[in-house]
Amino acid sequence: MVAQALALIQANDYRRRVVLLELDLENPALAEQLRLAARPGLAELAQGSSAMSEVLQPFGPRLAAITAGASLPAAGAGILEQLRGGVLRAVQQEADVVVMDLPPLITSPYGRQAAQMAEQLVMVIRAGITPLPRVKEAIDSVSPAPAILLNGVHSSLPRWMQTLLSV
C-alpha cells in the first residue's frame, strides 16, 4: 500500500509517468489490490516469455503496474539477475519514475538484493510490531541507509486538535 501511495503522489502531484513494479514474488498482492491481471507479469518478462507491452498494465493517469506474475518464490534471485541484465532498464524506459514494491529485507531470501537495485530506498516499519533489533539489522543490511517510514503510528493528540491541524 505504501508503494502504491508513493506511485500516486509521483503521478498526481509531480505529473510523472510511473511504473509500479512488484518485486515481492513470495507474497504478490498488487494484482488483487489494484484489480489487475496477475499474469503475465515480471516473472514472464524476466524469463522472456512475455513482452513489455503484455505485462505493463495501466491503472490510472500516468500510472502503470507490472505485477509479480507467475508465483515462483524459488526463482526470485534468478529474476533479479534478469532485472540487472537489462530488464530493469527496459522498465525504466517506460516511465519517469519506477516505484518498486520490495519483499521484506530480512525474511526474504532475495530482499537485500532487491533493495540494492533501488536508487532511493524507503523502509516501511510496522510501529510497535517489528522489534528494534530487527529494524537495526534491516537498516544495517543496505547501503546507503534508507529513509524510514513508520506504519501504524498513532498520534497522542486529542481528536479535536488532529482535526484542527489536519493531522
Domain boundaries defined on the chain: 2-119
pLDDT at 72: 62
pTM greater than the 0.85 cutoff: no
pLDDT at 109: 80
C-alpha cell at 86: 537489462
What sign does the dihedral 62-145-41-33 (CA atoms) show? negative
Listed as ranges, residues in the chain with pLDDT below 50 are 167
CATH of 2-119, one of 1.10.540.10, 3.40.50.300, 3.40.710.10, 3.40.190.10: 3.40.50.300
pLDDT at 30: 93
Ramachandran angles phi, psi of 135, nearest 5°: -60, -50
pLDDT at 148: 72
